[in-house]
Chain A
Amino acid sequence: MALTVQSSAAEHDYRHLVQDDRIHGSLYTDPAVFADEMQRIFTDGWVFVGHQSEIPEIGDWVSRRLGTEPVLMVRNRDGAISVVANRCAHRGTTLCPQNDGNNRNFRCAYHGWTYDLDGTLLGVPGPKGFHKDTADLGLDRPGQVDDYRGFVFANRSGTAGPLSDHLGAGGTDLIDRTSDMSPSGSVRLSAGWIGQRIDSNWKMWPESDHDGYHLNFTHASMARAVPDTYYDEIVMTGEEASESATRAYDGGHLELDFRRSYTAELAWLGTTREKVADYCEALEGSYGAEKAKTIMWDGPPHALVFPNLFLAEMNIARIEPISPGVTVHHHTPLLVEGTDESVNRRLVLQSEAAMGPASFFLTDDAVIAERMHRAFEGAAAGDDGWVDLSRGIEREHIEDGQRWSDITDETTNRGFWHHYRDVMACVVGSRPNSHA
């Protein structure tokens, strides 16, 4: 029997590991694959960082990671947003070990180097000992930072092209529909983030979060404990009965589209107009009766903006890779502005039920992902250990640049992996085609 020896120097054949209807399990567990991902997806591509509403005041900052690179998202003196490395340019000490805060400037605890909010080096103790120009010793910064409707993205390499190309028509529409849930047109992420640590590879989360096939089994306990959740009518029906759709957009963006299944307005909020009258009137005041009606019936999207932003209906989630076998799934309720706070209280309660380590849904998804990860820990590229993703491949359709099918079909999963293959094999993206 031949043994395959893998090293980080070996170049993986991603066109073989990601096939049209199956992928190889070593993609979850191989440290060399993880290293390639941190470069090609999380350094060379656009990554979601956070939302402008998280840092409303000058000096506000939150701690984030671009892949495994620690960064701070900061509100500058001029009101603009900076993303800077959370690492002193001198000897590399973490500048801000907390989750969030407000600073006039950033001073390193080790030797006192001090940086302005945008990462410019302001001063060093004992400056006569330095011959270098301090202008060259600011904090590392991503090559590109941009936002769309307050959703801030960064591209470390600076070579990924404009954010609008990354989002494309699909990602733009998904963020529009999310932002339009707020009568002000801008959501507010101010209720805090909760992180769920899962002992699985990060890619199981774009998969699980957009899998319309698992609900009857993975979440059977919720169906039994609460038989009348709105998920019943949108996905827990028979194979042919659901009107919901699964969609894959260009660029690896995905959606479980429940819009055609809702049988009442505000079904996605589990309530009626009378209970949230202020909110409904504010939507009508902002958007007019017709568009407000569409918003109230359709609700928010359930979608992935590749690679790490999960528009989780009335939550926003970030998928954060820690190592090949550890991921943190962060979430915060999506709050709305331009109406009274009662609807936001309802959204916090709904978030606490659905998301996080003590919730009714993601706890079961976490255990399933951990079981999957364990099952592939010994996987080396070979004939065994493939993941079948063929469901619905014969009945999906292409329409307006998007691929869609029955809600239980693996169109979303294939959409994720096929884009992943293009990025990892450098068919798309900023790197030269030498990896292919």
Chain B
Amino acid sequence: MATVDEPTRRDIEAFVYLEARLADESRYDEWEALVTDDMHYWVPFGPGDYEPGTRVSYINDNRARLGTRIRQLATGVHHAQDPPSSMRRVVSNIEILSAEGDEFEIGSNFVLYEHAVQATGHLRLWAGRATHRLRRTPDGLRMAAKKVELVNSTSPLPNLPFII
């Protein structure tokens, strides 16, 4: 656990909440503007304690593939998110796990309610732990990595085409 000054802590928490809200509201361009050029977006199978690519993950996006993901969502004909799911997530238990120079590793828990309006109309519940790696840049905090460990990732999952 790392200690940072209060203004930095407030900036970090505000970033994590903004990132969550932009994802909830499917504001893809604004969400993408938060990431660095070396962004890694990872949703592992089971605990994220393995090297991505050595076994199969739900999502293992480098910056280029994340760009493809967002372009696909923005086409307007991605049926899996046409229309986009209505979503709200609650983010809590925010902890600053490390602070080294301009980089911070942030742990948090989330509960996400998704109304899967595309076909079934089911209310789907997603829960897990997010680990953000944030970097201070001249433009403010940016996200260099996001890892999402779902509590039920070892069981079959329904469609996960949105940004989690």
Within 8 A of A (CB), among B50-84: 53-60, 65, 68-69, 71-72, 75-80
Whole-angstrom CA separation of A360 from B56 in the bound complex: 15
A333, CB-defined interface residue at 8 Å: yes
Q: Count of A-B contacts with CB under 8 A?
A: 109
CB distance from A327 to the nearest CB of B (A): 9
**Do B157 and A196 touch across chains, with their CB atoms under 8 A apart?**
yes
Number of B interface residues in the complex (CB < 8 A): 33
Specify which of A194, A218, A364, A367 is in contact with B56 (CB 8 Å cutoff): A194
**Do B157 and A367 touch across chains, with their CB atoms under 8 A apart?**
no
**Do A360 and B69 touch across chains, with their CB atoms under 8 A apart?**
yes
Whole-angstrom CA separation of A370 from B124 in the bound complex: 15
**Do B43 and A358 touch across chains, with their CB atoms under 8 A apart?**
yes
Specify which of B56, B65, B75, B120 is in contact with A351 (CB 8 Å cutoff): B56
What's the dominant secondary structure at chain B's contact region? loop
Pull 23 A–B residue pairs with CB atoms less than 8 Å apart, ordered by A: A99-B154, A190-B55, A191-B56, A192-B45, A195-B155, A195-B156, A197-B158, A221-B75, A221-B79, A224-B72, A225-B71, A328-B156, A348-B53, A349-B53, A352-B56, A357-B158, A357-B160, A366-B159, A367-B79, A367-B119, A367-B159, A370-B118, A371-B119
Given contacts A352-B59, A358-B58, contact A197 B157 (CB under 8 A): yes
Whole-angstrom CA separation of A66 from B12 in the bound complex: 50
* Chain A 333-369: CB-based contact to B (< 8 A → 1; otherwise 0): 1000000000001001101110011101001101110
**Do B160 and A224 touch across chains, with their CB atoms under 8 A apart?**
no
**Do B72 and A352 touch across chains, with their CB atoms under 8 A apart?**
no
Chain B residues whose C-beta falls within 8 Å of the C-beta of A370 in the assembled complex = 118-120
Chain B residues with a Cβ under 8 A of chain A: 43, 45, 53-60, 65, 68-69, 71-72, 75-80, 118-120, 122, 154-161
Chain A residues whose C-beta falls within 8 Å of the C-beta of B55 in the assembled complex = 190-192, 348
Given contacts A197-B157, A221-B72, contact A368 B56 (CB under 8 A): no
A199, CB-defined interface residue at 8 Å: yes
Closest to A363 in B: B80
Most chain B CB atoms below 10 A, which of A197, A220, A367: A367
Closest 6 pairs between A and B when the two form their complex, measured CB to CB: A195-B156, A370-B119, A363-B80, A221-B78, A225-B72, A197-B156
Chain A residues whose C-beta falls within 8 Å of the C-beta of B159 in the assembled complex = 196, 357-358, 363, 366-367
A332, CB-defined interface residue at 8 Å: yes
A374, CB-defined interface residue at 8 Å: yes
* Residues of A in contact with B, size category: 35 or more
**Do A358 and B160 touch across chains, with their CB atoms under 8 A apart?**
yes
A222, CB-defined interface residue at 8 Å: yes
**Do B56 and A199 touch across chains, with their CB atoms under 8 A apart?**
no
Whole-angstrom CA separation of A88 from B72 in the bound complex: 48
Chain A residues whose C-beta falls within 8 Å of the C-beta of B72 in the assembled complex = 221-222, 224-226, 360
A23, CB-defined interface residue at 8 Å: no
CB distance from B69 to the nearest CB of A (A): 7
**Do B156 and A196 touch across chains, with their CB atoms under 8 A apart?**
yes
A73, CB-defined interface residue at 8 Å: no
Most chain B CB atoms below 10 A, which of A193, A221, A352, A366: A221
Whole-angstrom CA separation of A358 from B117 in the bound complex: 17
Whole-angstrom CA separation of A374 from B116 in the bound complex: 14
Chain B residues whose C-beta falls within 8 Å of the C-beta of A348 in the assembled complex = 53-56, 60
CB distance from A368 to the nearest CB of B (A): 6
**Do A226 and B156 touch across chains, with their CB atoms under 8 A apart?**
no
* Chain A 25-45: CB-based contact to B (< 8 A → 1; otherwise 0): 000000000000000000000
**Do B68 and A225 touch across chains, with their CB atoms under 8 A apart?**
yes
Given contacts A191-B56, A192-B45, A363-B161, contact A199 B120 (CB under 8 A): yes
